[in-house]
Structure formats: C-alpha cells, structure tokens
Amino acid sequence: MESNASPELLPGTLFLLILRTLSRGPLHGYAIVKRIKEASREGLQVEDGSLYPALNRMLVKGWLAAEWGVSENNRKARFYRLTPEGRKQLDKEAGEFDRLVRAIQLVMRTA
Amino acid sequence: MAFGKEIGNRLGYLIRRSRFDREFEEEMSFHLQARAEELEQSGMASGEALRQARREFGSTLRSGEETRSAWQLSWLEDFASDLRYAARALRRNPALALAAIGSLALGIGANTTMFSVAKEALFSEPSCRDPQSLAQISTRGNHWVTVAQYRFLADAHVLDGIAGMNHELPVNWRYGNRSFYLAGTHVSDNFFQVVGIPVAMGRPIERGETDAAVVTYGFWRSRLNGDPNVLGRKLVLDDKPYRIVGVLPRDHRMLVGSGLTPDLYLTKEPRGFMLYARMPQGMTRQAAYARLRPICREMDRVYPEENRKWAREVQLSGVGGMDRLREFGGPMAMPALAFFAMLVMVTAIVVLIACANISSLLLARALTRSRELAIRMSLGGSRGRLVRQLLTESLWLALLGTGAGLFINLWLTRLLSGFHIPTPLPIELIVQPDRALLAYSAAIALVVTLATGLVPALKGTRAGIGAALKEDGRQAGPAGSRLRNALVVVQLAVSIVLLSAGLLFVRNLISATSFNAGFDTAHTIVAAVHGESDREKFVDTALARLRALPGIEAASPAIALPLNPFLAFNRPNEQLRPDAGSRAVRVEYNPNSVGPDYFRIMAIPILQGRAFLDSDRAGAPEVVILNQNMARRLFGSTNPVGHILRFPDNHDARVVGVARNSTYATLGEKDAMALYGPFAQLAAHGGACLFVRTNGPPEAMARKVDQTIAELDAKASVQTKVMREVFGFALLPSRAGAAVLGSMALFGLMLASIGLYGVLLYSTQRRIHEIGIRVALGATPGDVLAMVAGQSCRLVAIGMGIGLALALVAVRPLSMFLVPEVRPTDPLNFVAVAGVLALVAGLATIAPTARALRVDPAVALRHE
C-alpha cells in the first residue's frame, strides 16, 4: 500500500478533476472521490479532508450548485451539479491543462 | 458580474450561517457512513469500518473550518483589522485626533444644522393624509376666492372634495374681562376631512359643524395650561362661542409651510378662502384639469372677474416641497432659498478647510512614515492594501467627527425648535433629525474621508521602495511639501472669501443696528388693537386717556406698523394722476393713515407744507402727505404742496405736505414711496395701531399703556410693544447672518492659520540641518529670517491673491441681504480682510522663525 501511494495532486487540478467528474451528472461528495479514484485506476486519491473545502469554494464561485437528494442506498445526501458557469470554466481549464501537460511532456522528452 | 454574484453568495452565507453548519455536519456523517459501508462490504467488522473511515477522513474539525472559510469575506475581516489598527494609531496621537475630530465636528454640526433648518423651513411635508393627491387650486398665482366662489366649486363635487382655508386672520379670544389676539386659521367644515389632518386628542372638525375649534399643541400647553379635560370646553372667539373638539399633535405642520403655526383652527367663513382639492386615488393632474375645466367655465360665467379667467388659468399645485415654495414663497422664496443656500455653502466651506488641515497633518505623518511603508511594501504588502489602511484612519476621523457633529446638530436644532422666532406671524420650526439628515451626514462623512485621506494615502505610498529606504525623512518628499503648500494656499484663499462675507454681515449688523430707520425708535411704544366695538369712539377715548398719563408726550393712531415685511405684500400698485391731469404715473407705494401727532411721535420731519390737523376730519376736504421719493416721482422738482392728486377711483386729494423719507416695510428697501392720509378720513375698517411717545425710556411705560388701552373695551385685543422690539425683528436676518457667517469666518480663519502655522513649523524643522550648514558657513540671522519669512510670505501672497480675486466675485450676490450703506465691493472690506489675514500669517510665521534663529549649527548638523 505504502509503496504505490497516490501521487500529490498538482496544485489547481482538484477543481478541474471535480468539474470533469461532475460533467457527466450530479454526484454526492463520496461518489466524487470514488469516481476519481476509479477513473484514474486508483492512481489519484483525493483527500477526504480537502474535498469539501474545494467543493464549497466552487459553490461560492457559482460553478457548482448543491441540492439535497437521496443516495443509491436510500440515505439523505447532498448532490453537486455543474452550473452553466461551471461548464464554461471546465472547458477553459481543460484546454489550459492540455496545453500545460503537452508542454511538460515536450520538455521531458527533448530536454 | 461573476464577482458580484460571488459577493452575493457570500453575503447569503452570513445570513444562513447556522444552517450551513448543520448541513455540513450531515454531509460529513453521510460521507463517513458511505465509506464505512463500503469497507464492511469488503469484509471489515462494522465498528472497525467506521473507525477506519474516520481515520481516512482526518480531522472533520479542520475540514469544517476550511470549508467555512471558503465562504467568509476576507476583506470584511481585513477591514475590521484595519479599523483596529487605525484606532490604535489615532490613540497614540490623541492631540491630533482630538483636534481633527473637534474641528470636523464644529464644521459638520454647523453645516448639518443649516441643512436641517433649511429643509424644515422650505421643504417640510405638511401634516396631512397622502400629500401627493392633495393640491392647491389657484389661478396664475392668485390663491384667494370669495366664500361664494368656494361654495360654487365645492358643490360641483368634481373631485374628492374641495376645502377652504384662510390662515391670515386674527381672532379675538375673550377671556375674563380681556381679549387676546390669536392667530386663527379659518376653515370650511369639510377641511379636516378633505385634507386629513391627524389630531392627537379628541377628533377633527366634522362636516356640518359651525362652532367647532381644534387647538394646536402649543396653544393648549401655554394658554390652556395643558388641561387634560379641554375637550368640550367653550372658547369665545370674536364674540361667538366655539367648542374645542380636538388638540393637534406637537409636530403639526401647516399646509402653507414655512413653520407657520396658528393657535387654533375654527369653522368660520372669512372674506376669502384658499382652496385645497383632494384628487381621487390614482388620478393624474391632467385628468383632474379635464374634470375641473367645465365647472371653471361656469365659474367665469357666474362670477365674472376682470383679471381672472378660471377656464384658462386654473392651476393645481402640490402642497409640499419645491411646488409649495414656488407657489407661496413668491417674492420671499428666492431670497430665503438663496440665504439658506449661502449658509449651507459657507458651513460646507468650513468643513473643507478643516479637511485640508487634517489632510496636511496626515500627509506629514504619512511622509514621516514613508520608511515604514516602504519596508512593508518591500515585504509584499500591496499598495492598494496600504492605501486602504491609511484611508481607514481618515474614515475613523470622519465617522467620529460626523458623529460628534450630529450631536451638535441635535443640540442646536432642539434649541432652535423651542425658540419662538420674534415675527408678527406665529412661526415655529419643528426641526427633527430624519432620514434625509442621516443620508446627508453619511455623504459628508464619505467626502471628509476622501478629502482628508486620499492625498496622504496616495502620496505616502508612492515613494519608490529603494528611494524611501535610502533617503532619510529630510528629503523624503519635495512633492509632499509642494502639496502641503498648495493646501495652505487653498485654505488661505477660501478663508479670505469666508472672511469677506462674514465681515460684510458683521458690518451690516453694525450699520443696521445704528441704521437710521428714518423715525425715532428710542421713545416709542406701539399698541396694535383688533376687534374693538366702535373704532372711532375707542381711538378717541384711548388717546384722551393716554395723553392724561404722566410721562406721555403724545399719542396718535395709525393703520400700519412700520418695518413689518408683510406690508410689502399689500402695497397698492396704481396709476395716479398729478393735478388731475391726463398724465398718469404708475406707483407702488406704502399707504398709511395717521393722526396729527404721528410725525411728531415718530420724529419724521415735515419738509414742506404742514402735518395733518385736527380739522382734517371725515367730511372735510381730503388731504394727503407724500414722502420725498413719492413727491419727486409724481411732481418732479416742483413743490407739490397745494397740488391735487387723482386716484384710480376718481376721487381727489390735495397734497398738504412732504415728509422726509423713512423706512416702511423692510430696512433694506430702496427708494420706497409712501403716502399718508389722515386717520380720521379713513373709511370704516377695523383695527388700529396706537403710537405713544414717552418722555423717559419706553420700556417702563409699556405696561401702563397696555393696561390703559385694554381696560377700555373687553372685546378688543391689545398687543403692546416698544418700538425697539419691532425694530429687532427687522434686524433678524442681519443678526442671523452676522452670527452664523461671522462665527464661521472666524472659525475658518482659525483653522487656516493653524494650517499655515503647521506648514511653516514643519518645513522649518525639515530644514534645520540646512539652516545649520548655512549658519556654519556664515549666514547671518537676517539671512535665515529672510529665508523662513520669505517662504511664508510667498504662500500668504499667493493665497491672498487668489482669495481676493474669488471674494470679489463671490460676495457680489450678497447685496440683497445688506442695508444699502454696506456695499459688497467696498474696497475697505478687502483691505481689512487682507490686513487680518496678514496679521495672522505674521503670527504664524514668528514661532517657526524664532526656532530657526535659535538653531545652533553644532546641534543642527548632528540633528537627524
């Protein structure tokens, strides 16, 4: 377990990951963590403790909206979904992120 | 846009804080449960699974704190810490803080008081239901209709009721064996219903009542001793019994505004009414006009009047604010408005001078702190943040100054509200703090914050980091000292303008007090009589009894009380024909009917011809006496005595004398014309003034005169005053102007000289090093003196030049408030003002110069 501990998230990428995860539909907090973990094939582990501050920052900015609903096993849970602003932000950040990653890869290969 | 939304979200959080905490807890527990369930499914024991989930999550407390902080407003917290920091900075320098707050408080107190008084006097809303739908009906500035006309309009029922009111009529109140003169407002029986005036006790006058009266709070308190069982009490008013049905609240404001407060409202039909109409809910003025027009056409047919066409000229005007001012003020409105505007402006200027002072003090502080600021900037403090912090200090000063100013305002307005303004009309202003005042004060506080803080904050934080760290305080800011000099120049200039205006008003007061009214005021008593049963008999007996009193030199009746500004509204404006010829001259003159001794009592000399004689009685040939102005206007340079004057109604009168010009309605009037007729030839008309000349001081005799006249006829009301009191009212505008402007000008001058002193002292201090070098190199005390004094002279000269140029323009419009002898552009004024200022500047220069001369080169060179 210790050896393949998930790498630290790059600063700023948490928002992007959450936005992307929610772009396929509303999810509650725990499901977001799980989805990211699964999608990265256990490569990325979002800290439970930093998830909720991030979600709330995004609520403040108006990228997300939250509603109370019922979870898959019939419990009251808070669901987050993307707002139109959030979708715009996702497009913007995803584009920037792609460029950044490509640039880093170029450096890593050639330099 | 997005930012605004974010702020909105955060503000929403402030309101829903407790719900947020609850929800966060619920969400956490859901998260932990979900994780624990998953762990259980993978085979962990249930208790262990929950513990594991908790471990993975970490501290919920910290997570909650961080989550909450996402919502909090960091700038609000920064602001709070700025406030604390600034408060500490001010406490460290209490002298500066107190001086700044004190000068702001005085200026703002004076300014807001002017604002409150002006607002109350000119724009107050009357006490009535829904003032928006109430309108006054008039025809092109003419408000008066006869009772018959009022009936005609009211009975047509075109709008939601038309009521009549006449506030200009005195009422005699018979109480015991005397009568008292009351300011009564006569109203139609539907007046209270139509206008909707709230009463504090009892009920309003109701339709159909003919003997009901509603008394004002002041009358109830002072004349009826605040009797709680006053309702139903009988008052004998003008010989008729009335029943008190209600008492008005203390803050009752009459429809006509200007603080006019009658003693009571009563149902009575006077000769004339002013009309007020209640418009139906939601009806526009346009629609109301359309409804009125047919009945107005009828009115023109039934009551034809030569100078009035109702159908064409009918007007509906509002009963509050600017509308009423335009409608009523007429000749008084513009000067009153201008007077208040001037006072508000003058006091605002004083506030600005105070701001300039504080600004230059704060600037000096910011510059001495430039090293500290530079270090903070180099450590990563943003300039905006530092500017905000420096501005917070000004905000404190502004808030405290405005707060203290509001206290002064409350105190002054309370003082003014209790003050019965000595006018012939019952005027009482109820000045109370209101929302407008708060908004105005908030605006002032904002202006003060920016005016005192912006320049020091921007200048103080501009110096480059490196430069400020390298240099020491001495050379920190040539730009800063230039700015301070500019501030002082502005202060000097503005206080010259203030001082010029103030001096004018003080001179006006002096010359108005010693002003020759054209008649004697030192030995005269005047008693105004109303409601006597038989005037001729009354006046004859009164004169006989008065003349029999010891210490009385002469007594005479007259109709007009001089220096009563309301006379100006009733001046005839007629075509008179000298020598009954074809040449007609239009003159507006002050009429009076006087007894034979009047000219002797008032010490108005007859320059040509004679005074009236006892033989100029009713039935004898009509005679008149003109004043010099009127004689010249009608007859040119020829001696008018013996000539005939024909009046528009074709009766003739012979001119028997010319009296010296004097003042009639106001002290400030120019080239006023006057025409006197014999009192005995006056057509029947109630009321008279009795003028009495005493040998000694009139004050001692006033009571005796009052008693003598009052006991003649229990029906007649008598108001006895010494002439000096009457004169005092005429001086009221001069007094008020001189008091306010004089004190404000002195205060402004004081502030400006403190500013000048500060700047000179400061700049001398900064140059101590330089002075030391100069002295060491052989400069004489004379050289140093020339250097320091030269700087002050330059500042004063520039400030004075600008100020005098401004003052020359600014004081010109003041002439309308001044007696003719005081000319606003009198060079003497400016010489005096410049002299005073030069003196003050000299005094402010002496201390810094002395300090400069005492400098010991050895000490100065070490001075750091």
Q: Which of B35, B66, B71 sits opposite A30 (nearest CB)?
A: B35
Length of chain B: 864
The residue-averaged pLDDT of B258-284 equals: 79
Residues of B in contact with A30 (CB under 8 A): 30-31, 34-35
Considering only the C-alpha atoms of chain A, give the largest distance between any 2 of them, rounded to a whole number of Å.
Answer: 54
**A57 to chain B: closest CA residue:** B70
- The reported pLDDT for the residue numbered B804 is 87
- Environment class of residue B49 by beta-carbon count within 10 Å: exposed (0-12), middle (13-18) or buried (19+)? buried
Please check the confidence at residue B301 and state whether its pLDDT lies above 50.
yes
pLDDT of residue B76 exceeding 80, the answer is no
Identify which of A52, A73, A75 has the shortest CB distance to residue B67: A52
Residue A80 confidence (pLDDT): 92
Q: How far apart are CA B154 and CA B1, in angstroms?
A: 57
Q: What is the pLDDT of residues B185-204, one digit of tens each?
A: 888 888 888 888 888 888 88
Q: B295: helix, coil or strand?
A: helix
pLDDT at B378: 75
- DSSP summary character for residue B617: -
B5 reaches A (C-beta below 8 A): yes
User: Which 8-state DSSP code applies to residue B90?
Assistant: H
- The percent of residues above 90 in pLDDT, for chain B, comes to 0
Looking at CA atoms only, how far is residue B58 from chain A in angstroms? 6
Predicted pLDDT of residue B325: 67
Residue type at A58 in one-letter notation = M
CB distance A61–B31 less than 8 Å?
Answer: no
- Predicted confidence at residue B326, as pLDDT, reads 65
Q: Is B56 on the interface with A (CB under 8 A)?
A: yes
pLDDT at B427: 67
Please give the order of strands across the beta sheet that includes A64-70: A27-28, A76-82, A64-70
SS3 B273: strand
Which parts of chain A have pLDDT scores under 50? 1-5
Closest CA to B472 of B372, B375, B371, B376: B371
Q: Is B4 on the interface with A (CB under 8 A)?
A: no
With contact defined as beta carbons under 8 Å apart, do B418 and B432 qualify?
Answer: no
Please say whether the beta carbons of B242 and B234 come within 8 A.
Answer: yes
| DSSP per-residue string spanning A62-86 | TSEEEEEEE-TTS-EEEEEEE-HHH
Q: Do A56 and B71 touch (CB under 8 A)?
A: yes
Q: Is the pLDDT of residue B63 over 50?
A: yes
CA dist B394 and B450 (Å) reads 8
In this structure, what DSSP letter does residue B584 have?
-
CATH class given for the domain over A13-110: mainly alpha
Q: How far apart are CA B598 and CA B680, in angstroms?
A: 13
CB-based contact B398:B443 (threshold 8 Å): no
Q: Is A57 on the interface with B (CB under 8 A)?
A: yes
Q: Is some CB atom of chain A closer than 8 A to the CB atom of B2?
A: yes
Q: Which chain A residues are Cβ-neighbours of B30 within 8 angstroms?
A: 28-30, 71, 75-78
Angle at B95 between CA B90 and CA B96, to 5 degrees: 60
Cα–Cα distance for residue pair B26/B142, rounded to 1 Å = 76
How many cross-chain Cβ pairs, A to B, lie less than 8 Å apart?
73
Task: Please name the residues in contact with B708: beta carbons below 8 A apart, sequence gap of 6 or more.
Answer: B542, B545, B546, B549
Mean pLDDT of B799-823: 78
Show the 3-state SS of B779-791: CCHHHHHHHHHHH
For B701-740, the DSSP string reads: HHHHHHHHHHTT-TT-EEEEEEHHHHHHHHTHHHHHHHHH
Cβ-defined contact of A52 to B27 (cutoff 8 Å) = yes
Q: How confident is the model at residue B684 (pLDDT cuts 50, 70, 90)?
A: low
pLDDT score at B149: 79
Distances (CA, A) of B414 to B107, B303, B339, B419, B701: 18, 49, 21, 9, 35
Smallest CA-to-CA distance from B259 within B125, B427, B128 is with B427
Residue B527 CB partners (closer than 8 Å, separation 6+)? B689, B690, B692, B705, B706, B709, B718, B719, B720, B721
Q: Which helix (H) or strand (E) holds B673?
A: strand B673-678
Closest-approach residue (CA) in chain B for A45: B56
pLDDT value for B474: 45
- Distance, in Å, from the CA atom of B478 to the CA atom of B786, rounded to the nearest integer, reads 21
Mean pLDDT of all residues in B735-762: 74
Q: Which tokens is B336 given?
A: 């009153």
Compute the distance between CA of residue B30 and CA of residue B37 in angstroms, rounded to an integer.
10
Q: What is the DSSP letter of B160?
A: S
Which of chain B's residues have a Cβ under 8 Å away from the Cβ of A75? 30, 33-34
User: Please, are residues B574 and B587 in contact by the beta-carbon 8 Å criterion?
Assistant: yes
Angle in degrees, CA B150, B155, B159, rounded to 5: 95
For B73-85, the DSSP string reads -HHHHHHHHHHHH
Closest alpha carbon within chain B to A73: B34
Chain B from 14 to 43: CB within 8 A of any A CB: 23-24, 26-28, 30-31, 33-35, 37
Q: Report strand pairing: B623-627 vs B573-578.
A: unpaired
> C-alpha distances in angstroms, B383 versus A33, B369, B386, B781?
41, 14, 5, 44
Digit-coded pLDDT (tens) for B548-573 = 888 888 888 888 877 766 666 667 77
Three-state DSSP state, B753:
helix
pLDDT value at position A1? 37
Residue B70 with chain A: CB contacts under 8 Å: 53, 56-57, 59-60
Could you tell me if B498 and B740 are in contact, meaning their C-beta atoms sit under 8 angstroms apart? no
- Residue of B316, B356, B545 lying closest to B454 (CA atoms): B356
Of A30, A53, A61, the CB nearest to B34: A30
pTM of whole model > 0.80?
Answer: no
Give the residue among B283, B276, B282 at the shortest CA–CA distance from B320: B276
Instruction: Tell me the C-alpha distance between B353 and B351, whole Å.
Output: 5
CA dist., res. B473 & res. B863, Å (int)? 12
B526 has pLDDT over 80: yes
HSE value, Cβ hemisphere, 13 Å, CA-based, for B606: 22
How many Å apart are CA B363 and CA B369, to the nearest integer? 10
Asked if residue B367 has pLDDT above 80, the reply is: no
Count CB-CB contacts under 10 A for residue B376.
Answer: 18
Tokens representing B630 are 């009127």
- Between the alpha carbon of residue B475 and those of residues B469, B480, B495, the distances in Å are 12, 10, 30
End-to-end CA distance of chain B: 53
Q: Which residue reads 């002299």 in tokens?
A: B835
Judge whether B688 and B534 are in contact, CB under 8 Å.
Answer: no
Quick check: B854 pLDDT over 50?
A: yes
- Determine the Cα–Cα distance for residues B732 and B744; give it in Å rounded to an integer: 18
DSSP β-bridge partners for residue A55: none
**In chain B, which among 283-322 make CB contacts under 8 A with chain A?**
none
Tokens matching residue B410? 């409350």
- Top mean pLDDT of A91-105, B502-516, B517-531 is at A91-105
- pLDDT higher than threshold 60 for residue B581: yes
- B71 lies within 8 A of chain A by CB: yes
Give how far the C-alpha of residue B466 lies from the chain's centroid of Cα atoms, to the nearest Å: 54
What's the whole-number average pLDDT of chain B? 78
Summarize pLDDT for B79-90 with one digit per residue, the tens. 788 888 888 888
Residues of chain A with Cβ-Cβ distance to B24 below 8 Å are 52
CB contact under 8 Å between B30 and A76, yes or no, is: yes
Task: Please answer yes or no on whether B30 and A77 come within 8 Å at the CB atom.
Answer: yes
Domain boundaries, chain B: 2-72, 74-124+332-472, 131-319, 524-729
* Highest-confidence segment of B175-179, B725-729, B851-855: B175-179
**B659 has which bridge partners?**
B606, B627
Sequence-distant (6+) residues with CB within 8 A of B547 are B554, B555
Burial class (CB in 10 A: 0-12, 13-18, 19+), B696: exposed
Q: How confident is the model at residue B354 (pLDDT cuts 50, 70, 90)?
A: confident
Residue B131 is classified by DSSP as G
Residues B264 and B184 sit within 8 Å (Cβ to Cβ): yes
Judge whether residue B541 has pLDDT over 60. yes
- Amino acid letter, residue A98: D
- ipTM of the complex, rounded to two decimals: 0.85
pLDDT at B73: 67
Rounded to the nearest 10 degrees, the angle between the axes of helix B732-766 and helix B781-810 is: 150
Query: Is the pLDDT score of B811 beyond 70?
Result: yes
Q: What is the pLDDT of residues B617-648, one digit of tens each?
A: 888 888 999 988 888 888 888 888 888 888 88
Residue B286: is it exposed, middle or buried by C-beta count within 10 angstroms (0-12/13-18/19+)?
exposed
Cβ atoms of residues B575 and B621 within 8 Å: no
Cα B566 from chain centre: 20
Please state the domain extents for chain A. 13-110
Of A49, A71, A75, the CB nearest to B63: A49
